[in-house]
Structure 1
Amino acid sequence: MTASNKKMTLVGLTTLVTVNMMGSGIIMLPSSMAQLGAVSLLSWLITAIGSMAIAYCFAQCGVYCPRSGGMSAYTEEAHGKSAFFLCSFLYFLSLAIGNVAISISAVGYLTPFFPWLGSGAVGLFSGCVGLIWLTTAANFGGAGITGKLGAVTVWGVIIPVAGLSVMGWFWFEPRIFSAAWNPNGMPIKDAITQSIPLTLWAFLGMESAAQNSDAVVNPKRNVPLACLFGTLGAAVVYVLSTTVIQGIVPNEALANSSAPFAYVYAQMFGPLVGKIIMLLAVMACIGSLLGWQFTLAQTAKVTANQGMFPKLFGKVTTAQAPVVGMIACAVLQTLLALSTISPNASEQFAKLVNLAAVTNLLPYVTALSGLLVIMYKAGVSRSVYLRNVTVLMIAMGYSFYAIYASGKDAVFGATIVLAVGYLLYGFIAKRFVLEPSMSSPVDDPHGGSPQDISSSQLPGDTL
């Protein structure tokens, strides 16, 4: 067997991209979107186009910039070392926020089995934090177990969500969908804007699609195509599943449900099937959270190895697991859960999604802008450059709109985080500055002593 036969084809890579994106992000969305009405479904079209443009640009970055570091490396190409830190810092926080949102999703699906979890803010907080620490501890054994569990548990979401996209239409009632269209009487523009962060949430993670291009046949062709087709495939399933559910479950019941997909399956097939779907969703959330906890700790570890995060994040055990860093991450997530505490799972979920979207979009913007420098260094042809810049402008336009759509509170919070990031980098910046020469504090281009420079005429001086 030749080396090329061992590599992944376009079909295989497209399937992988679709499966990776369809994690646990979808399972609470129908309830959150139902609070705005079915009119919010229109935002899927805008998000799908924007996400495909972003995924394509990241694929191009990966093709022409093979260095390690992902988005942070692409950012550094255009904005320097400080931007590497800020990108890693914001992405790290977005993962931490996203993990809390995933744990809230899992608690929502556990509530029917453990009613106390849905009794108020204390129950929701306790269940959320319990899952955070459970999945953190489960990662102490290293990446091997985490990867195997994640590959299996993700199907707990994919099977019911994709299944509903096909089977649900037999139970679809236009009357119910029509009543759910715009129950609040909102202008369509406002409904779309408010639901953009929710739909974007389901696509977060697309930045990982361009990784490992060396394991793909003809990566310059297949990686961008797989990113586009994979994102499109996920978008089709998202649109169909969230549309059909609006025509089966009355909008008010859907908006107040803590387990929307389980609820709709119970409507279609009875309570027993609904409980099975709940268990599958919980399994998928825990598996997804397990994987993202490891990714969060690894992100901190890589950044610590660059000398940009505290050394404790870089310490590993014999199983190559950054246990101390994982514990620190769990403490951070506990504080995040406490700061957004709410008795309503959908309300708390929406707050976190908006904040996660902004803290993820800022690294998207900085990394995407790096493509311009990456293409310059790679010496791409004019046609490739013009094509990529066109797609880049679409990706940037969507990113700016999504930041705006996330709301004042989320943007304000992300701005504070960004400002803190600049301060933190200021403390470590000296590590990346060349030591000045002790014998010549200032280089005089005229060969005089340092004090002569103030009175000498420098290039460009007119006085």
Structure 2
Amino acid sequence: MSSRPETEGLRRRLGLFHLVLYGLGVTIGAGIYVLIGLTAAEAGLYAPVSFAVAAGVVLFTGLTYAELSTRFPVSAGEAIFVEKGLRRPQLALLVGLLVAASGIVSSATIAIGAASYLFHLIPIEPNILTAGLIIFLGLIAAWGILESVTIAAFLTVAEIFGLLLVITFALEADPMLIERAGELVPPFETSAWSGILSGALLAFFAFIGFEDLANVAEEAKQPKRTMPRAILLTLGLSSLLYLVVVSVVVLSVPMEALTSSASPLLLVFETASPTTLLSFNLIAGLATINGILIQMIMSSRVLYGLSKNHHLPTTLGKVSPITGTPIIATVVVVAIVLVLALALPVGQLAEWTSRFALLVFALVNAALIGLKRQKTPLNSEGFVVPLWIPVIGFLTCAILLIFSLATLI
């Protein structure tokens, strides 16, 4: 009899390819498919600059995550980073719960949107469709990390294909778009840059997700080598895609129509054939479904990691000997997502996701600053950034967070 003990750790099954697809899958998705119009409402034609500013803010934090994932390649990464760097266990628990909560709320919000879209293809009562979708994706998340990430990888490829389809169709419809690229350069005027910064907060939401890679580090092969590469490749590829997509959309779609649309990318296909339009609709649906799956995987790993580090009940840290996944933590996540999606108004909570992320990012950068000031050595050779990287990461996140909170006053 050779069954695995129920408390055995997670299995390292993810290589660089799967990690990058996981990172792209949780980063690219509902954000870019719906945020362009909202960003353009703030920044106008300069929306691509807003995305560039957001990418710049995220880059420094991404480099911080790259080093910390080398130092501590475990689940519930942010909580461990903060606990080790700031030496505040209570603060570490708060960070972990914030990360898990943001993933759970995002899953519930996306599930409602996905069900609303799928209702046009599957005419089932919306609440039943929402519940069925969440349970189905929860079963996939519990199936096994390699299996669930492989499915997410296929959905990620579909997401990326959809964005490439937007670029290709827009350029074929109007080859002059490339020559008009100069129109995207903003003037040095306060009004223009105020709108760009407001748009950057919205654009920032589209980049949230790369940090979820830290929460599957315990299931990564050779994490000290693959995790930094996966994080940086995820940020680089998603940033490039975003900038090109946003540029062709704002140049090819009338601004009035763009800023008032809940499905801005569909406007690019107004002259497309019914088959092309249907294909893109399906791809957009897959993008939202993928976000639910990956966010549930991430949230369950955070609860698992907090349990293993004695911040939450040990039950949440139990791993199934059959699937090699944290079954109880996954069930808890799916149950909470169901409650939020079916019973609570999650819209306003979802608006705070980017603010929670900025707060977590600021604390993670502060943690690396603390570790470097402690002169804590790496356990072995790994990825290292200079001190000024987390300093700038902390300042940029803090400034954007303060700017976003000021808009509420």
Q: TM-score range by the shorter chain?
A: 0.7 to 0.9
Q: Deviations over 1:26-70 (max 9, x none)?
A: 111123223332233321121111111111111111223345531
Q: Taking CA–CA contacts closer than 8 Å with sequence separation of 6 or more, which of the two structures ends up with the larger relative contact order?
A: 2
Q: Deviations over 1:157-197 (max 9, x none)?
A: 11011332344223346699999999xx9922331232223
8 Å contact 1:259–1:278 — kept in the other structure? no
The aligned residue for residue 164 of structure 2 is: 162
SS in 2 for 1:51: helix
Q: CA deviation at 1:279?
A: 1.0
Unaligned stretches of 5+ in structure 2? Answer: 1-12
1:230-241 equivalent positions in 2, closer than 5 A: 230-241=234-245
The aligned residue for residue 73 of structure 1 is: 80
The aligned residue for residue 25 of structure 1 is: 31
Bigger drift between 44-53 and 29-38 goes to 29-38
Q: Does 1:85 align with 2:82?
A: no
Q: Distance in 2 between matches of 1:138 and 1:247?
A: 37
Q: CA deviation at 1:110?
A: 4.2
1:172-183 equivalent positions in 2, closer than 5 A: 172=174
The aligned residue for residue 248 of structure 1 is: 252
Q: Aligned Cα RMSD in Å?
A: 4.0
1:56-455 equivalent positions in 2, closer than 5 A: 56-66=63-73, 68-77=75-84, 78-107=86-115, 109-110=117-118, 113=121, 127=126, 130-131=129-130, 134-140=133-139, 142-144=142-144, 146-172=148-174, 187-209=191-213, 211=217, 215-216=221-222, 219=225, 223-224=227-228, 226-265=230-269, 267-309=270-312, 321-322=327-328, 324-334=331-341, 337-340=344-347, 351=348, 354-375=351-372, 376-379=374-377, 388-408=386-406
Q: How many residues align?
A: 378
Q: Which amino acid aligns with 1:398?
A: T
Q: TM-score under structure 1 normalisation?
A: 0.68
Unaligned stretches of 5+ in structure 1? Answer: 1-5, 118-125, 341-350, 413-463
Q: Deviations over 1:408-438 (max 9, x none)?
A: 587x9xxxxxxxxxxxxxxxxxxxxxxxxxx
Q: Distance in 1 between matches of 2:386 and 2:234?
A: 19
8 Å contact 1:75–1:84 — kept in the other structure? yes
Q: Distance in 2 between matches of 1:51 and 1:365?
A: 11
Distance 1:129 1:313, change over 3 A: farther
Q: TM-score under structure 2 normalisation?
A: 0.76
Q: Distance in 1 between matches of 2:170 and 2:51?
A: 19
Q: Which amino acid aligns with 1:31?
A: G
Percent same amino acid at aligned positions? 17
Q: CA deviation at 1:198?
A: 1.9
Q: Distance in 2 between matches of 1:315 and 1:223?
A: 24
Q: Deviations over 1:438-458 (max 9, x none)?
A: xxxxxxxxxxxxxxxxxxxxx
Rg: which structure is higher?
1
The aligned residue for residue 10 of structure 2 is: none
Q: Which amino acid aligns with 1:161?
A: L
Q: CA deviation at 1:14?
A: 6.0
Q: CA deviation at 1:336?
A: 7.9
